[in-house]
Chain A
Amino acid sequence: EIVLTQSPGTLSLSPGERATLSCRASQSVTSTHFVWYQQKPGQAPRLLIYGASSRATGIPDRFSGSGSGTDFTLTISRLEPEDFAVYYCQHYGSSFWTFGQGTKVEIK
């Protein structure tokens, strides 16, 4: 069973700053099956990135994903007020879907 570990747990940044979120898999995974979501309080998660680096429809280009093997990164180039939220990574394999524990991006 693959375990996804996200770091840091909380990221305190100011609007306009760059955010770098990490997700590490317990074993090498296929990047095409690696995904990122955003979740705001009281809302359902929203798909951000699929295939490790492809933005979902309507997602601004300040969001980018990268990585391969066991290490994946979500980067928000310049934080907008609406970007303060919790971000989850997710992997799919063998009919099982696994989530990381989440990284909260909060206003400093």
Chain B
Amino acid sequence: EVQLLESGGGLIQPGKSLRLSCAASGFPFSSYAMSWVRQAPGKGLEWVSAVSATGDNTYYADSVKGQFTISRDNPKNMLYLQMNSLRGEDTAVYYCATVSFTGDYFHYWGHGTLVTVSS
């Protein structure tokens, strides 16, 4: 069974940094591209970032480019999102998700971790 378990969320002050983690199991992690998708309270889904299966290629939404860094540790089956200079508009539930082999869609999703940026 595919499992994605996000952690690292919480209440953080504006301007601070936070690192989210996603522990993956039940599938060949190193064979799949992975992604982060976020959802602000009461709002829709927003793609944030993706990383190739090997970790060699990374992709970012314009809204987080230069602010967030995605990475992965394949031997540990872990995905990360380093978030710097956090702002109120970064408040959201952050989901990690597997990317299909064709790259078209997000097949499996974690339950999400809530990041609240507030003083």
What B residues does A90 contact at CB under 8 A?
Answer: 45, 105-106
How many Å lie between the Cα of A99 and that of B112 in the bound state? Answer: 18
Question: Min CB distance, B23 to chain A, in Å?
Answer: 15
How many residue pairs bridge A and B at CB < 8 Å? 56
How many Å lie between the Cα of A44 and that of B4 in the bound state? Answer: 11
How big is chain A's contact interface, by range? 20 to 34
Interface residue B109 (Cβ < 8 Å from any Cβ of A): yes
Q: How many residues of B contact A (CB 8 A)?
A: 21
Question: Min CB distance, A55 to chain B, in Å?
Answer: 13
Q: Check A47/B107 contact, CB under 8 A, given A95-B59, A96-B61, A97-B50.
A: yes
CB atoms of B104 and A33 under 8 A apart? yes
Question: Min CB distance, B38 to chain A, in Å?
Answer: 11
The contact string, 1 if C-beta is below 8 Å from chain B, for chain A 23-59, is 0000000001101010100011111001100001000
CB atoms of A45 and B61 under 8 A apart? no
How many Å lie between the Cα of A43 and that of B95 in the bound state? Answer: 11
What A residues does B46 contact at CB under 8 A?
Answer: 99
With beta carbons under 8 angstroms apart, the residue of A37, A46, A88, A92 that contacts B104 is: A92
Interface residue B91 (Cβ < 8 Å from any Cβ of A): no
User: What are 9 A-B pairs at a CB distance below 8 A?
Assistant: A32-B102, A56-B107, A88-B44, A90-B45, A90-B106, A96-B59, A99-B44, A99-B46, A101-B44
